Amino acid sequence: METVHAFDVLGDPVRRRILEELAAGERTSGSLCAVIGAEFGISQPAVSQHLKVLRDNGFATVRAEGSRRLYAVDTGPLQEVDAWVEQFRGFWTQRLDALGTELARGRHRGTRRRPTPPDRSTR
């Protein structure tokens, strides 16, 4: 079997959506086909093909329960993707930290008490 890069697998919006569904917990192939087929306007065989790509590349597992097939996320490849992305995380972490600092400064400035105007009723 040809090795497919994780981003090739995740590059497809249908497969990403299937993984989102599986992130909520184990799902039957029938329920996945119904949800994904309706959202993307694709047939049951097309959804099944996407499930096969996820399974063959280690992103999903399948187990038989009677006549049903239950799919679940396999986190191994996702951990590899996360490890690869880690090298870039510093780029946005610094910016988010700076944004947090600026937001905190803005809140601090906004909570300063304004001087109370002089009481003019005593004149």
Residue pair 14/37 in contact (Cβ under 8 Å)? The answer is no
Q: In what order do the strands lie in the sheet with 27-28?
A: 27-28, 68-73, 60-65
Strands (E), 1-123: 27-28, 60-65, 68-73
Residue pair 71/58 in contact (Cβ under 8 Å)? The answer is no
The residues, ordered by sequence, that sit 6+ positions from 101 with a Cβ below 8 Å of its Cβ are: none
Q: How far apart are CA 15 and CA 75, in angstroms?
A: 15
CATH code for 6-75? Answer: 1.10.10.10
Amino acid 69 reads R
What does the domain layout of the chain look like in residue ranges? Answer: 6-75
Q: What percent of the chain has pLDDT over 70?
A: 82
Q: Is the pLDDT of residue 1 over 60?
A: no
pLDDT digits (tens, 9 = 90+) for 29-68: 999 999 999 999 999 999 999 999 999 999 999 999 999 9
**Sign of the CA dihedral with 75 first, then 81, 85, and 87 last:** positive
